[in-house]
Amino acid sequence: MDLEASKQKVKALTEPRNAVLVGASERQGSWAWRVLRNLKQYEFPRPLYLVNPRRSEIEGERCYPDVRSLPEPPDHLIVLVPAPSVPEVLRNGAAAGARSATVFSSGFGEAYNDAAVPLGRELRQVIAETGLAVSGPNCMGNICAKNHFVTLSEDRPLTLREGPVALVGQSGGMMIFLNASLEERGINAEYLITSGNEAGLGIPDYVAFFADQPELKVIILYIEAISDIEKFKAACRMARAAGKAIVAIKLGQSEGGRNAAMAHTASLAGTVEAFDAIAADVGIIRANTLDDAVEVTELLVHTTAPRGRRLGAITLSGAFRGLLYDAAERNGLVFPKLADDTLAKLNAVLGVGSLVSNPIDGGFGVLSSIDNYKASIAALQADPNIDMILIQENLPREPGSDRAERYIHTVDAIVAGGAPKPIAIITPVSHSQSDYSRALRAKVPNVSFLLEVNKGLGAIAGVIRRDELERLAGSPESKIATPAEAAAAARMRTMTTSGAAALNEIDSKELIRAYGIPTPTEIAVQSPDDAVKAAQRIGYPVVLKAVSAKLLHKSDAGAVALGLPDDRALLAAYERIVANVRRIGVEKLDAMLVCQQVSGGLELVLGLNRDPEMGLVVMAGSGGVLLELTKDVAFAAPPISRDKARAMIERTHVARLLRGYRSAETRDVDAVIDALVALGRIAEDLADAVQSIDINPFVVLPRGGFALDALVVPH
């Protein structure tokens, strides 16, 4: 991937030497008419040419029959012609000298229109052949405020100013709504790109370009699908290295993939969960809603990220304190007890004895004077137990709130003066802005105004979580594959060419065992007599299991017998299992597996799953028969370090159980970590050969752990 070439292409798209509107129209309300109006209204400073062979002029502007008739070579093509004509327009434009194009036209295979798929392939081929930098097709145009270049088909007024935010998304409508909400908050988007179907330029290209724009602080992405995950990750890492924050709204659950799942892991991992695993490594904050994206952006544009999850607050009412406590617990944040020195300072300043707590109720003297207000903030700033300070206040919508305005300016001055900890102003409920409030807000750029408690604390938690997970993303120390690992990987690649839908349990366990994941003592047999001999060698009680690649979930098929105490019970179980599997159409088994009985222990599920967009991700969580119901699982992208594995476990209820929930004995968490690191190595070594691995259950004992069952599905 060549991200430097990406930057140059986006530069050509956003900084054209001229613009050529192909398919220009005087029909009011049409997209062509809107685009022409916006180019004029927002004063595009370069030459603008109109092309329509059926018109000699449009609204007093000369209209040319084709791009070859222009007085100078075309540079940027704005294409609003029917889909079948688009490839020819692009070919002709490129031949005449064009470097870039925005294609509004749809009809290239989107919306499940299979008949138009060949035209979509032709369009991609033309783009590849010509080297044009193309936004779209099926897009709504773009905004490049820095260059007054607006091809967006929006007919509502736009605030065209340079700003700290760039937007890019595969839905033009969502980009327009998101931009309107940001403008409402006084946040200007310098770039708004509606990338459409991305036949040419895609989100990774734009992110790479934004990484080089020094004025940008936040890049907001609206993603429906990612076609090149490695390029996407590389571009995001480039932007993060340049100090840009990335906020993403990701749509889509992979229901089709779930329905076709052959292992528990695949049935649990949808696109969003897998995206989160990738996002954690590349520093993306995923927002659940557009509102959440706006709130996170407000925080990131105006306030530095806190170093931890401990908050301090000054409120105007006791009721708001309760809302803060609830929202903090919901979002994994805390309001810790204030340090003794802080309490002493506050009691001395406010004269309220032992009534001071965190959050601080402003009614107890805090708001009685500006000096008390400053002293209270200073005390929280000095408290070693506090990472960030929240202050309840409303942004006045009209003149008359002198106290509020004075305190808001005070907070801004404190931050501007070099306050060591971030400060944000927060309100109990979302509210609209007025021209007055936006003008006031513009005068206090050093503090964020978070609207509504849960959204505000959710934004803070999202930024903190981004930093925590990003710190875990470093690759573990490289390790040379052992001979056993190399041999197992080679066998796995050979098996992928056999066309098998899945490996049987014996072959599956052979792979994971080679990477160091322990399994119980097991012996494969072909007859009842051999089963008895194996059981006597292992020692009763034993487990008996049927082995066949066709048996994906053996318990459901009646193909497992547990706790067999003697020869007689073993022979009866052997006969019963053979009958059970025949009833479901499995006439011939690969083998029977006689296994050491592992009693007690905590059942987990561990695994890998290949997401259709994100690639392989590692999973860990609660195992057993209620797995699909509880979905107490966490995902991470390989490579898996020990710290990353530990963090995965901590995101599930399993962590409390491993520590000995309600006086139960503790379990060997290091055994789980070892297994997750091994799965990460398998994902790296066999990235092209494995579709999924399902270890369910992985039983954790006070010392050690065992994979009692395993299913490997080739890619």
Per residue in 339-376, is it b (16+ CB within 10 Å) or e — as a string? Answer: beebbebbbebbeeeeebebbbbbebbbbeeeebbbbb
**pLDDT tens digits along 358-402:** 888 766 667 768 888 898 899 999 999 999 999 999 899 999 888
Taking residues 445-456, report their average pLDDT: 95
Lowest mean pLDDT among 43-57, 78-92, 94-108, 615-629: 615-629
* 473-489 confidence digits (pLDDT tens): 866 666 788 888 998 88
> Between the CA of residue 146 and those of 162, 165, 215, 598, 605, what are the distances in Å?
6, 12, 11, 67, 52
The pLDDT score that the predictor gives to residue 310 is 97
Q: What is the mean pLDDT of residues 338-358?
A: 80
Return the pLDDT at 255: 52
Determine contact, residues 659/666, Cβ cutoff 8 Å.
yes
pLDDT at 112 over 80: no
The domains of the chain, with CATH numbers, are: 3-251 (3.40.50.720), 300-471 (3.40.50.261), 483-596 (3.30.1490.20), 602-714 (3.30.470.20)
Over residues 72-89, the mean pLDDT reads 96
What's the confidence (pLDDT) of residue 554? 84
pLDDT of residue 114 exceeding 50: yes
Between 273 and 269, the higher pLDDT residue: 273
* Spatial contact of 504 and 590, defined as CB atoms under 8 Å apart: yes
**If we measure between CA atoms, which residue out of 617, 485, 592, 453 comes closest to residue 535?**
592
Tell me, what's the pLDDT at 264? 41
Q: pTM to 2 decimals?
A: 0.91
Average pLDDT score over residue span 111-117: 72
Rounded to an integer, what distance in angstroms lies between the CA atom of residue 98 and that of residue 71? 13
Mean pLDDT of the chain: 90
Task: Identify the burial level of 441 via C-beta atoms within 10 angstroms of its C-beta, where 0-12 means exposed, 13-18 middle and 19 or more buried.
Answer: buried
Enter the DSSP assignment of 227.
S
Output phi, psi for 403, to 5 deg: -60, -50
* Collapsed DSSP state (helix, strand, coil) of residue 100: strand
Q: What letter does residue 664 receive in the DSSP assignment?
A: P
pLDDT band, residue 357 (cuts 50/70/90): confident
Q: pLDDT tens digits for 543-567?
A: 999 999 888 778 888 999 999 999 9
How many residues appear in the chain? 715
The pLDDT of residue 256 is: 44
Greatest distance between any 2 Cα atoms in the chain:
99
Helix (H), strand (E), coil (C) string for 588-602:
CCCEEEEEECCCCCE
Mean pLDDT, to the nearest integer, of 601-608?
Answer: 93
pLDDT at 352 over 70: no
What the block records as the tokens of 350 is: 């406010």
- What pLDDT digit, counting tens, does each position of 116-136 carry? 788 989 999 999 999 999 999
Q: Quickly count: other Cβ atoms within 10 Å of residue 565's Cβ.
A: 12
Tokens of 250: 């990701």
